[in-house]
């Protein structure tokens, strides 16, 4: 184990090298824990094709689900950013498809969330609205809202999220136009409501909201792990 800058450390596990936060409490809320591998003694056959293992047919563990497969059924090496692996790692066919789809989130949607969008924000039942820029923090743990005032929403304290839509997309369908959040402010157990509606640049705001919708799915999946 060796330390590197920016509060992260390089850790070697049976699955490969991982770059993780120095303090586990500051892990990204999208991250997943490494699975427990199915013990070798419980794996006489491939858990996909039922091929019996021997000296020629070696067993391999999928780094995402921890199950045991033959080389044919677990040959793909795919990036697994949600577990902080430095290099692509061996995954079964089912898991590799999931990981490949998640790569789009890290390559595209996450950049949109970090870049931010401009919204008209209303807190609780207040009649007062404020135009604010909303963006995801660099450590992915908070939504920063900046205008005349500033406040933060911790993603782990969001209890529900609803994307609001309108019918103005070019194809005639609905387009994301706002978001309704329910969350617990830091230091409080009372649920607060936050309403955000796209301001002037509706295209950028719509892309940000679509990215946030994808982020919510990953967030809930990580919680249910």
| CATH number for 70 | 3.30.40.10
pLDDT reported for residue 3: 39
What is the rounded average pLDDT of the residues 187-216?
91
Instruction: Report whether 193 contacts 125 (CB < 8 A).
Output: yes
pLDDT reported for residue 171: 56
Structure confidence at residue 2 as a pLDDT band (50, 70, 90): very low
pLDDT reported for residue 219: 85
12: pLDDT strictly greater than 50: yes
Instruction: Report whether 118 contacts 131 (CB < 8 A).
Output: yes
- In a domain, residue 99? The reply is no
Domain boundary among 65, 94, 123: 94
**Of 113, 117, 116, 103, residue with least CA distance to 140:** 113
What is the rounded average pLDDT of the residues 8-31?
84
Domain boundary among 64, 94, 124: 94
pLDDT reported for residue 63: 96
Instruction: Report whether 215 contacts 138 (CB < 8 A).
Output: no
- In a domain, residue 158? The reply is yes
Same structural domain, 213 and 158: yes
**Of 35, 33, 32, 37, residue with least CA distance to 47:** 37
Same structural domain, 47 and 84: yes
Among the residue ranges 63-77, 161-175, 194-208, the one predicted with the least confidence is: 161-175
Residue 121's SS3 state is strand
224: pLDDT strictly greater than 90: no
Same structural domain, 134 and 184: yes
What 8-state DSSP symbol labels residue 7?
Answer: T
Number of domains the chain contains: 2
Q: Name the residue range of residue 74's domain.
A: 8-94
pLDDT reported for residue 168: 58
Same structural domain, 167 and 120: yes
User: What six digits make up the tokens of 22?
Assistant: 């120095």
pLDDT reported for residue 174: 76
5: pLDDT strictly greater than 90: no
pLDDT reported for residue 24: 66
4: pLDDT strictly greater than 50: no
H/E stretch holding 165 reads strand 158-166
Domain boundary among 59, 94, 129: 94
């Amino acid at each position: 184990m060796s330390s590197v800058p920016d509060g992260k450390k390089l850790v070697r596990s049976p699955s490969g090298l991982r770059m993780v936060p120095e303090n586990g409490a500051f892990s990204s809320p999208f991250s997943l824990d490494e699975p427990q591998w199915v013990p070798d003694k419980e794996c006489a056959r491939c858990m996909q094709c039922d091929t019996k293992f021997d000296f020629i047919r070696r067993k391999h563990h999928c780094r995402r689900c921890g199950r045991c497969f033959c080389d044919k059924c677990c040959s793909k090496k795919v990036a697994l950013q949600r577990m902080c692996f430095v290099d692509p790692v061996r995954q079964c066919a089912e898991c590799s498809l999931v990981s490949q789809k998640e790569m789009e989130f890290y390559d595209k949607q996450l950049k949109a969330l970090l870049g931010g969008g401009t919204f008209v924000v209303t807190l609780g039942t207040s009649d007062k609205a404020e135009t604010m820029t909303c963006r995801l923090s660099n450590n992915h743990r908070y939504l920063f809202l900046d205008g005349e005032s500033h406040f933060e929403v911790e993603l782990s304290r969001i209890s529900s999220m609803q994307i609001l839509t309108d019918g103005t997309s070019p194809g005639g369908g609905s387009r994301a136009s706002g978001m309704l959040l329910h969350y617990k402010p830091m230091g409080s157990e009372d649920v607060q409501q936050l309403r955000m509606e796209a301001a002037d640049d509706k295209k950028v705001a719509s892309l940000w909201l679509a990215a946030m919708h994808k982020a919510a799915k990953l967030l809930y999946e990580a919680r249910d792990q």
